[in-house]
Amino acid sequence: MDPGPDPGPDMTVVLLGNCGVGKSASGNTVLGRAAFESKTSFKAGESEIREEAGRVFGKVIRVIDTPGILGREEPVGRCCRHVLESPGSHLFLLVIKTDRFTAEQERGVEAVLAAVGGRGFSRCYLLFTGGDALKNTSLHDFIYQDRQSPLPGVVARFSGRVHLFNNEDAGREQVRELLLKAGLLHCPPAECVGSEVRRILLIGPAGGGKSSAGNTVLGRRHFEVDRDFHGGGRGHMCGEAEGGQVFVVDSAGLSGEGLTREQLLRDVESAARLADPGPHVVAVVVKIGQLSAADSRALALLTELLEGVASRHAAVLFTHGDALGDRRLQDAIRSSRRVSDLVSRCRGRHCVLDNTRSGERAQVECFLRLVDDIIRENDGRHWSWEALRSGDSEDTSCSNNVVEHALVARTPPSLLSVCWRLLSLSALFVRRYFHWI
């Protein structure tokens, strides 16, 4: 019997970059075997495009090892275009060695970006090699050790799509983390499967405290903190918390600089898939304090993204609660139009954590009660990525009423009604007055 055509790989990984940066060794790490001959360096043009395949975490992965990009831009570009047109998922890895970032390496970066093009850039990650050479230095510290170097700017362009390999160790967990980060694996841990599990997605601007918040909710340190170089996506973890299981996804921090709605959609989609089949609650993490222009833009795009049915599953989780001092949280919310709009879009649902007091479980209980309320309001349904993509909308008047109630809970309803009517009449008067003029 004819077995039929080969269905092809589940995903294709393409290794790109200069000579001698560790592309072949990284391909071997991904496949878990010595598939490619790894040399310290090559002269440009000596090595051809090679490919190998293997089963990795239950997926058939094809790995393409390309020669040094400089001088080989045309064939490498053709290879990338062919991959983009082929079926299955694909991932481009721009490989950089944890060494001095030279002008030649910068030229290599630009050549790779030209090869993958605008269409492939969203599926392109920076892969640093030489993790063993960093020893006690974090990747964040390595990137920013020389502020005059062009490397921090290169990293910023990738909006958190950054990963580190130790090819000497060749451990499998670093490969799993990369594929999870890229949204190519969607399998929660076996101990965290079941209808009773509360799945929470943490999203928000870089440096807002998502990782610390995840650790506070879980009651232990799992997510790496203070390594948020323009959003270095984390992964997920399951644990017991206040009466049940909770599954927390710590997403890449959003950099508002140059962030577009379409890019935000891709980033959120990639993170949401880690909570397969979908998160019950999308918690937008906001640090209490002065917003930067980049953070303000990221929050504006998130507010726009969470319109319609998406707002049913949304809440705002404030961090750095200790920064409030003697102020009330409601006053802090009112002080920023951007934050106030976001809370309104989330139907007034918000909570605050002080991650410096992670041992105080009362604040976690408060947050998880909010999570349980959202799950109950949605009859246990999880957040629908398809609804977000399609832009389904609904009457949001109830969400505005909810937030008004949340923020002015101590104001008598009759007074609120009178104030609203007076504001409406004033606006009408102004419009008519200027029209007459």
Residue with tokens 């246990």: 380
Mention every residue, 6+ apart, whose C-beta is less than 8 A from residue 138.
227
pLDDT at 430: 43
- The CB density around residue 60, as the number of other CB atoms within 10 Å, is 15
Residues forming a β-bridge with 90: 12
pLDDT at 252: 80
Rounded distance between C-alpha atoms, residue 410 and residue 329, angstroms: 14
pLDDT at 61: 95
Nearest residue to 199 (alpha-carbon basis) of 8, 381, 428: 381
pTM score, two decimals? 0.54
pLDDT at 386: 63
* Contact yes or no for 203/254 (Cβ under 8 A): yes
End-to-end CA distance of the chain: 86
Rounded distance between C-alpha atoms, residue 293 and residue 396, angstroms: 27
pLDDT at 69: 96
Rounded distance between C-alpha atoms, residue 37 and residue 306, angstroms: 48
* Contact yes or no for 68/42 (Cβ under 8 A): yes
Q: 229 — phi, psi (to 5°)?
A: -80, 90
Q: Where are the alpha helices (DSSP H) in 182-334?
A: 210-218, 261-272, 293-305, 329-334
406: left (phi over 0), alpha (psi -120 to 50) or beta: alpha
pLDDT in tens, the chain (437 residues): 444 455 678 899 999 999 999 999 999 999 999 999 865 444 444 468 999 999 988 789 999 999 999 999 999 999 999 999 998 899 999 999 998 899 999 999 999 999 999 989 989 999 999 988 888 888 888 998 887 899 999 998 887 789 999 988 777 888 888 887 787 876 555 555 555 788 999 999 988 888 888 888 887 777 766 544 444 445 667 766 766 788 898 888 887 677 888 888 888 887 887 777 789 999 999 999 888 888 999 999 999 988 887 899 999 999 988 888 888 999 999 999 999 999 999 999 999 998 777 667 788 889 999 999 999 999 988 887 665 655 554 533 333 333 333 333 323 333 444 454 455 445 444 444 444 33
Token pair, residue 244, equals 């049940």
pLDDT at 228: 41
Residues forming a β-bridge with 236: 249
Domains defined for the chain, CATH in brackets:
11-181 (3.40.50.300), 191-407 (3.40.50.300)
Sign, CA dihedral 130-266-214-299, equals positive
235: left (phi over 0), alpha (psi -120 to 50) or beta: left
| DSSP per residue, 17-59 | -STTSSHHHHHHHHHTS--S---S---TTSS--EEEEEEETTE
